[in-house]
Amino acid sequence: MIITKDTKIVVTGGAGFLGSAVTQELARRGAQHVVAPRRREFDLVHEADVVRLYETHRPDVVLHLAAVVGGIGANRENPGSFYYQNMVMGALLMEHARRAGVQKFVAIGTICAYPKFTPVPFKEEDLWSGYPEETNAPYGIAKKALLVQAQAYRDQYGFNAIYLLPVNLYGPRDNFDPKSSHVIPALIKKFVEAVERRDEVVEVWGTGRATREFLYVDDAAQGIVLATEHYDGPEPVNLGAGFEISIKDLAECIARLTGFKGRLVWNTSLPDGQPRRCLDTTRAERFFGFRARTPFEEGLARTIEWYRSSR
């Protein structure tokens, strides 16, 4: 479906990090009826609020981006609540979208859904070949349930739900709270503050040997909107940048870009998380023409500048 100025769209999590980039991308493409419900208005873990959301806004399209999520520390501290809230929110939103006659439902999954020891690069067909990495398994499995629901609803009801798997995101407006942030904002905060305090040492979690792939948030938003317009298939689709970097190299890069001249100390008593993460992005390019555009260091520099200027 092509988004027009008259298409009514609900973006859950639309005021958040990824959501705000998606709403901006929708506006750039001419959408004039985009609603980003806030939790104080509609708590999507409660069925009555989900029903009221659909009755109030009557969307043609739902982009479900909302998630209760954090980094390794937050995942370890909140496995039950992360599982429950993400599972219930997704199930209710898709079920009541079906009942309300929504034309298309776009479910955003997570790379945390992949098995701990997935062959690199991760291919979508490997999604069910093992159990996720333990620290984020409850969150990953709750989000992966959306794929099962989407495929089941397509089979039984002819409901057009698609499922996208973005890799780790980064960029301006990210979450920099040390209790719940992911690795890039956590490192940026550490190094910027170390420079300001003239610290000689910064401690980093783990061994530094784990690898990750990172997608700039505006690129992710473009991929999601392209899929919304041009993809209607049952298969899950990765959204990634197609490269892999070790946490050690990442930390050293952020140290250099922030001007930190001191020493990095690795706290190996803390976990690395999943050993490697890098996506096969063939399907996204083949199915709806998506390819990431932002060079990694350029995206990091923009993110550091935003953090420095907006604190």
Distance CA 19, CA 6 (A): 20
139 is catalytic: yes
| Residue 174, burial from CB neighbour count under 10 angstroms (0-12, 13-18, 19+) | buried
**Residues with Cβ < 8 Å from 28, sequence gap 6 or more?**
none
CB 300 within 8 A of CB 187: no
Q: DSSP class of residue 123? A: P
Degrees, nearest 5: CA angle 193-196-202: 50
* Structure-block tokens of residue 43: 């708590």
* Structure-block tokens of residue 277: 């993460």
Q: Which of 54, 83, 139, 163 is catalytic?
A: 139
| Residue 38, burial from CB neighbour count under 10 angstroms (0-12, 13-18, 19+) | exposed
CB 73 within 8 A of CB 30: no
Distance CA 130, CA 223 (A): 27
Indicate left, alpha or beta for 198 from its phi (over 0: left) and psi (-120 to 50: alpha): left
- The position carrying tokens 């001007």 is 259
CB 83 within 8 A of CB 69: no
Active site residues: 139
